Amino acid sequence: MFALEHPELIAPDSLWQWLVDEHGQYNGCHFWSNFEIVDLSFYRSPAYQAYFDYLDRAGGFFYERWGDAPVHSIAAALFLNASQVHYFSDIGYFHPSVVSCPRGARTQGRCVCDANKSFVQDGFCTVRFLQVKQSIVDPNATVPAHSGVVRYAEPVVRTVFSNE
């Protein structure tokens, strides 16, 4: 509901399409990583403060244990232009339920990672992010943002866009 109630806060070239399904409902996408580089003025901005206050009043931090990853990802997608958000595909991430092996020749052999268990790189949300960002930043690109198998997971959080 926040995004619908405050369209004036959404960046002109935002990545909101990354976050919603064909019905305009939050699809559960967010970055699965604890690696972020953020100018703290972003978190101090009026848009982020209004968003955070909205989420806090909804009670999900306390009652639902909402985490920083979806909160930060949704904020970046809504309040920043697509060109201001970068996905670091060459940095690995491990969480008991999620594994992301780094991509690229420079990273091969530099970390311990089972590529067969890597979900994030070819996951629906990462692929959707790359496709949506490319459609905004480089709409005439001749090389697709992703090719190959796309893996799917169930959505986790829905509060920002709906009353569910």
Is 36 known to be catalytic?
A: yes
How far apart are the C-alpha atoms of 111 and 92, rounded to whole Å? 8
Catalytic residue from among 5, 8, 22, 36: 36
Task: Provide DSSP, 75-86.
Answer: HHHHHS-GGG--
Cα torsion through 154, 117, 94, 129, rounded to 10: -50
66 neighbors 55 (Cβ within 8 angstroms) = yes
CA 18 vs CA 5, 63, 117, 130, 157: distances in Å: 19, 26, 24, 9, 14
The two structure tokens encoding residue 161: 């866009």
Q: Which two tokens stand for residue 101?
A: 């092996």
The pairing of strands 98-100 and 93-95 is antiparallel
Please choose, from the candidates 10, 151, 157, the residue with its C-alpha nearest in 3D space to the C-alpha of residue 79: 10
Residues with a known catalytic role? 36
